[in-house]
């Protein structure tokens, strides 16, 4: 899920890597202009309205939780959390037109939330905040309580580039050093990288993004040659699911749950699976190749530690490059600039 650049802040990474007595934890900075309850006076029911719409839609489609979580991540990693991922382009050159974003979904629900908020409080609530709230509310639906706090006060961007999305969104084939560089370039640390990877506990993965690990891995024309980092039984399961990709490596329609048996439940199973070498993507498996990252994976197998760490890391992610105050705009419609 990042930008391609050199690691510029080892000290930042180390500063963010703080372990509490209870497990994993980091201090959280406040982004200027963001605060809890930003709309308390200007639109008192803003968060209630957003939650009501999202929960009603998620009740009929539990897969939306993974889709909104991914949308939030992909928005924040390109130009910051400014809802630029929602913008349409007449020339198909917006972020949503970039290959990593072609499988995004849920835009209609965002539009539904926006319409409801415009009826209640015209021109007040940003699309960027709606994306952040939709991610939290959709994931929280199964627990019927907020799993993390969302600071609001973001404003919307006016620029959206497919090339920036292609450069900044981390690839599922990324190695550990590339991922760490990507996260560091966004002001996030090693812990955030590992914790936020836990979002792969819900949703599905396209076979064409990991089938190179399953068939002819070393390039010696042996179809049964698999990535040795994969649990053999898990690899056989994936091979069975992704058999079409053996004939057509470009098939982008076949998908597999990232957490088989629990792909609709937001929990810490991702880290249990990862320790069993059942991480679907190279970007998952690579977390075990670094000692410090592997230690964090161990701690996050405790559900309490994971939930506590996740709410801190996603709060930090939601602060990336935000537009506040007089910057940006409050779009009337989320898919077009005013």
Respond yes or no: is residue 74 known to be catalytic.
Answer: yes
**102 CB burial (10 A radius; 0-12, 13-18, 19+):** exposed
Task: Summarize pLDDT for 133-189 with one digit per residue, the tens.
Answer: 999 999 999 999 999 999 999 999 999 999 999 999 999 999 999 999 999 999 999
269 is in an annotated binding site: no
Would you place residue 21 in the very low, low, confident or very high pLDDT band (cuts 50, 70, 90)?
very low
Name beta bridge partners: 336: 333
Percent of the chain scored above 70 by pLDDT? 91
Q: For 30-59, give the DSSP string.
A: --TT-BTTTTTTTSTTHHHHHHHHHHHHHH
For residue 63, give the DSSP letter.
T
- Please list the residues that pair with 152 across neighbouring strands: 35
CA distances 114 to 88, 124, 125, Å, are 16, 10, 8
For 45-203+258-318, the fitting CATH number among 1.10.520.10, 1.20.1250.20, 3.10.450.50, 3.40.630.30 is 1.10.520.10
Annotate 116-135 with DSSP letters as a single string. Answer: HHHHHSTTTS-HHHHHHHHH
The arithmetic mean of pLDDT across residues 313-323, rounded, is: 97
Q: Does 23 have pLDDT greater than 50?
A: no
- Does residue 82 have a known ligand-binding role? yes
What is the pTM for the complete model shown?
0.89
Residue 81 near residue 131 (C-beta atoms within 8 A): yes
pLDDT digits (tens, 9 = 90+) for 201-251: 999 999 999 999 998 898 877 767 899 999 999 999 999 999 887 787 777
What is the per-residue pLDDT for 16? 34
User: Of 135, 165, 172, whose CA–CA distance to 317 is shortest?
Assistant: 135
Identify the active-site residue in 51, 57, 70, 74.
74
Nearest to 65 by CA among 172, 140, 148, 145: 140
d(CA 259, CA 269) in angstroms, rounded, equals 7
Q: Is 80 annotated as a binding residue?
A: yes
pLDDT band at 289 (very low <50, low <70, confident <90, very high): very high
Which residue would you say has higher pLDDT here, 153 or 7? Answer: 153
Helices and strands of the chain, counted as H and E runs? 14, 2
> Do 57 and 113 touch, CB atoms closer than 8 A?
no
pLDDT in tens, 291-305: 999 999 999 999 999
Structure tokens at 299: 């701690």
Residue 152: phi, psi to the nearest 5? -120, 175
Q: Is 321 annotated as a binding residue?
A: no
The sign of the torsion formed by the CA atoms of 59, 55, 303, 14 equals positive
Question: Does 32 count as an annotated binding residue?
Answer: no
Number of Cβ within 10 Å of residue 145's Cβ equals 7
pLDDT digit string, tens, across residues 42-91: 999 999 999 999 999 999 999 999 999 999 999 999 999 999 999 999 99
Q: What is the CA radius of gyration of the chain?
A: 20
Separation between Cα atoms, residue 270 and residue 206, nearest integer Å: 17
Query: What distance in Å separates the CA atoms of residue 13 and residue 290, rounded to the nearest whole number?
Result: 14
Residues 25, 91: Cα–Cα separation, whole Å: 44
What are 65's two structure tokens?
A: 């939780």
Q: Is 123 annotated as a binding residue?
A: no
In degrees and rounded to multiples of 5, residue 88 shows phi and psi of: -90, 155
**227 carries a ligand binding annotation:** no
- Cβ atoms of 287 and 229 within 8 Å: the answer is no
267 is in an annotated binding site: yes
141: closest CA among 52, 73, 271? 52
Name the β-bridge partners of 205.
Answer: 256
């Amino acid at each position: 899920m990042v930008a391609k650049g050199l690691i510029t802040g080892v000290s930042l990474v180390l500063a963010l890597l703080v372990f509490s007595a209870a497990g994993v934890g980091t201090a959280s900075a406040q982004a200027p202009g963001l605060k809890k309850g930003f709309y308390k006076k200007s639109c008192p029911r803003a968060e209630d309205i957003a939650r009501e719409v999202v929960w009603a839609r998620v009740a009929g489609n539990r897969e939306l939780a993974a889709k909104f979580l991914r949308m939030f991540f992909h928005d924040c990693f390109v130009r910051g959390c400014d809802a630029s991922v929602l913008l349409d382009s007449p020339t198909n050159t917006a972020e949503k037109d970039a290959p990593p974003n072609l499988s995004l979904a849920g835009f209609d629900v965002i539009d539904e939330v926006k319409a409801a908020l415009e009826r209640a409080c015209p021109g007040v609530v940003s699309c960027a905040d709606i994306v952040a709230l939709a991610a939290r509310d959709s994931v929280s639906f199964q627990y019927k309580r907020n799993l993390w706090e969302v600071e609001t006060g973001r404003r919307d961007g006016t620029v959206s580039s497919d090339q920036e999305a292609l450069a900044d969104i981390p690839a599922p084939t990324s190695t550990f050093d590339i991922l760490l560089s990507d996260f560091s370039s966004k002001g996030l640390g090693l812990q955030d990288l590992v914790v936020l990877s836990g979002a792969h506990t819900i949703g599905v993965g396209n076979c064409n993004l990991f089938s190179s690990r399953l068939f002819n891995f070393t390039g010696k024309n042996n179809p049964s040659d698999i990535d040795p980092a994969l649990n053999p039984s898990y690899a056989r399961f994936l091979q069975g699911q992704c058999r079409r990709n053996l004939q057509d490596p470009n098939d982008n329609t076949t998908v597999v749950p990232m957490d088989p048996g629990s792909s609709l439940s937001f929990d810490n199973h991702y880290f249990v699976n990862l320790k069993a070498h059942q991480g679907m993507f190279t970007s998952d498996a690579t977390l075990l190749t670094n000692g410090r990252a592997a230690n964090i994976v161990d701690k996050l197998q405790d559900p309490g530690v994971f939930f506590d760490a996740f709410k801190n890391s996603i709060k930090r992610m939601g602060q990336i490059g935000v537009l506040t105050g007089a910057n940006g705009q409050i779009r009337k419609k989320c898919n077009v600039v005013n």
